[in-house]
Structure 1
Amino acid sequence: MRLHTYLLTVGREILVGRTLDTNAHWLAGEITRLGGTILKISCVDDHPQAIGAEVRSARRHGSDVLVTTGGLGPTPDDVTLEGIASAAGRRLRLSRAARTLIEERYRVLHAQGRISDPALNPARLKMARLPTGTTPLPNPIGTAPGAYLTWGRLHIFALPGVPAEMKALFAHEVNPRIEALSCAAGSGTWVEMRVPTGMNDESTLAPVLAALRRAFPDVYAKSHPSGFGVAVDLIVTVAVRGSGGRAARERASAARAYLLNRLSVCARSGGPRRPRRSSAS
């Protein structure tokens, strides 16, 4: 069984091209390594209705985990939790635990001389209003806490949009929870290997990849073009998810050996040069 995961980025700055969404890219890699399978990556505007629709979609399509980024701050356009609450049929209420986290962060910032007043004004208190049944997650860098709640089988993690804050909060609070969920689901281990092919044309490589997929239907194989020319050496990613790390590595290694053998046959038959040794990650 796989831990199906849905990633949702919230923010108009992404949609209009002002900001590059590096959060989704980073999260996809981290969650895949933890055993999750990314079903979909979406981005919506700062509207509760749009956010709620994506939350409902994640649940309707059988996701186990939903991770949102952005929209947790003190300004009026920060409405991610409002959208989540609406979708899950919850009310937004002032969380004492969240308020305590926010008070402590502003106290520290004031002591460091980074803000002039640590008092919680209405905008700051807004960040402590969470859907009922939500656990606030400490933000070690910023002021807005993250949030964790369950809606049926769906585990929802709401994280800040600032990349440094998102990564720190993920490492401390989300990573161990997703790892535990992945183990409980028996998601297995993801092993990925990169194989230089010695080829510079995907159309020439395509029959070799087709043979690999027929021989190893459970293995993901994808070439990564970088242009044309005699200096180009196409790289193929060979990846597999197994019930255990050793089994996955053995299966990926077998697929890599098969690919290298087919490439060597092509080279001996007058095809491109013999590939160099591959690497694993």
Structure 2
Amino acid sequence: MASQAYHGFASQQRESAAVEVVLVPAFADNYIYVLRDDASGKVGIVDPGDAAPVIAELDRRGWTPTHIFLTHHHNDHIGGVAELKARYRPTVIGARADAHRIPDLDVALGEGDRTVFGEQAVRVFAVPGHTSGHIAFWFEGADALFPGDTLFALGCGRLFEGTPEQMWDSLVQLRALSDPTRIYCGHEYTLSNARFAVTVDPENAALRARADEIAALRERGEPTIPSTIGVERRTNPFLRADDPAVQAAVGLPGATPERVFAEIRSRKDHFRG
């Protein structure tokens, strides 16, 4: 799959907030993101699990990275950091809670912290569940969210280090962002996620239509990313554990959202499709 670029604007009145986002495929299904702030020319990289495809993309565009943003400590998200830092000397930004597991970290941030990338204000959310120290980056002016492996298009990450309660709280926090917010997640899992989602939310017409669209995109070899918060709120069953229709569909009418979320996550863990 070739790298693809997208431009983000918060509104027509805020063109200074534009960020170019380049999707760089890596491994079997990872996405690394290369960002360029239009106003300042600063270049960032999100979750570089592999340095080689990032270097190739930077060379092709004539860009030099100034920042690296890391959502969590898994090697498929940080494996290329050492080589990129040695080559370009960017500032490496990651979770304070994961400082002991992320080498080469320069700036350690946590819940509610903010940093600056060129002309961009970047807010940090603590979103434990997939890992205990996981964070997400929200580029406020560009309305772009980089949630790593917490939130996927039509899915969420496995609970390797956290509890269902933690992950549900994390997802609710991200779900509260505005509908147009674009979601640049860590993996191209959407086709499998769609096949699963229709099994737990079968009466959702918007989900069925989206599943057909996703199948067509993947058939053409095109990415399903970015999604948006609005689309995920309507179609992602992991964000709808407090919806009576989803609760009834999984046989837990009136149950707490945490209990329903845990059931959906358990079913996905055992899903083969």
* TM-score, normalised by the number of residues in structure 2: 0.26
Q: TM-score, normalised by structure 1?
A: 0.25
Q: Which has the higher contact order (CA 8 A, sep 6+)?
A: 1
Relative to its length, the structure with more helix (as a share) is 1
Query: Greater CA radius of gyration, 1 or 2?
Result: 1
